[in-house]
Amino acid sequence: MTNFKLTVSDIKGKSITKELKDSDASPLLGLQLGNETDAAIVGLKGKLKITGGSDKSGVPMRSDIHGPARKRVLITRGVGLQDAETGQRVRKLMRGNIISEEIYQVNCKYDGELSVEAPAEKTTENSKEKKE
């Protein structure tokens, strides 16, 4: 029983969030950061490139840690480290680069442009009659 929040960003900076459950989420299991998959899982045409994510407790995924497990790694810069001075190293808890069932949010980059859906006006026969 896997649930993912899939955040898809396009080349112009727009982003949408979709929630994938069970059978819709299964094509993402086992993929690594940097891999590409078909965008049909969110109803788009083209490719999605997986760029990152985090697990249920907010631990970020990091591309240089192999496997799906959590590990305490010594880092100097990059994903998961906000303020590091020159020469400073910090041991942080990070998630590996493979999507597993523990992952909650998956970030993707879409190779096309996302369309913005405008809310359609609801017109009924009663409202047309009142205007006349």
Q: What is the pLDDT of residues 6-37, one digit of tens each?
A: 999 998 889 999 999 888 888 899 999 999 99
User: Taking the model in full, what pTM does it have?
Assistant: 0.78
Q: What is the pLDDT of residues 68-98, one digit of tens each?
A: 999 999 998 888 888 888 888 899 999 999 9
Confidence of residue 118 (pLDDT cuts 50, 70, 90): very low
Phi–psi pair at 31, nearest 5 degrees: -80, 150
Average pLDDT value for residue range 96-123? 78
Domain map of the chain by residue range?
3-115
Bridge-based pairing of strands 36-38 and 47-55 is antiparallel
